[in-house]
Amino acid sequence: MIRMTEKSGRTAVPLLAPLLVGVTILAATASVRADGTADLLANGERYRVEFTGKQVRIESTKRRGLYMLAHDESLYAVSQVQGRPLVMEGRAIINLLAAAGAGAATRNHPDDLVRFGELRRTSRRETVAGIHGEVYTLEFWTRKGEHRTVDIVLSSDPDIVQLTGAMGNIALALQQTLGTDTQGAQELIHALQQRGLGVLRAGPDIRLVGIDRATPPADRFRLPAQPVALPDLRSLLPGLQR
């Protein structure tokens, strides 16, 4: 779910905002084997993303007790209730995000990208977090039918291509859970795949801050408990770590 405004580039950023323009790749990373840990800044909120192969862990510095894991095509949300790990999957993730105060991540928005227009290369170059990239203009239409453009910085760096794809795993899984139309995002992904590029920056508010190319420990991607499905988590709010 990509949300941008033409004038300011301001993006509505929920828990999964560092998806960087709503990237929704599932298979795009098949030819790239990179690992690392990336720090992303989205509208003033910092996120840490650890990735290896098709496994991803994403956590906001504002919600240390809540993080998300992606294993291939499966998505999980992990928190703690009364000192015990709680792992949710499927639509139960929506309840967990809402209970933890991150419900904006589960709602469609009028500024979501629903139709991809064009990805135009400019003559400008930009370095983000020490990585050289090129500035492109992304043209798209929102859910409410408005035409928008925004500058994004793209790179062919293998780790950035991998990171973009890894974040896309989470984005697509969440969107599928919500029943959201992903056609526009898929069209954008096709354009990125054709060029072999990943995202360094989207507008003025979402950017890569730094990347550590060392492989994260395997236990960072392990589920701490068996996944469960609960219809409503609001009764657990007093014990939910935020």
* Helix orientation angle between 158-178 and 183-195, rounded to the nearest 10 degrees: 170
- Does pTM top 0.85 for this prediction? no
Alpha helices in the chain (DSSP H): 92-99, 158-178, 183-195
> Please, are residues 52 and 67 in contact by the beta-carbon 8 Å criterion?
no
Q: Residue 165's closest CA among 216, 199, 127? A: 199
DSSP string, 86-124: EEEETTHHHHHHHHTT-GGGGS--TTBEEEEEEEEEEEE
Gap between the Cα atoms of 11 and 214, Å rounded: 30
Q: Which CATH architecture has domain 17-239?
A: Clam (2.50)
Query: 174 in helix, strand or coil?
Result: helix
Each residue's pLDDT expressed in tens, for the chain with a length of 242 residues: 444 443 334 433 333 343 433 333 222 333 344 688 989 888 788 889 888 877 888 888 887 778 888 886 678 888 887 888 988 886 667 666 666 555 444 445 666 777 889 999 999 999 999 999 999 999 998 878 899 999 999 999 988 887 876 676 566 666 666 667 777 777 887 788 789 899 999 888 889 999 998 999 999 999 999 988 665 555 554 545 44
Q: How far out from the chain centre does Cα 88 lie? A: 18
> Please, are residues 68 and 55 in contact by the beta-carbon 8 Å criterion?
no
**All structural domains of the chain with their residue ranges:** 17-239
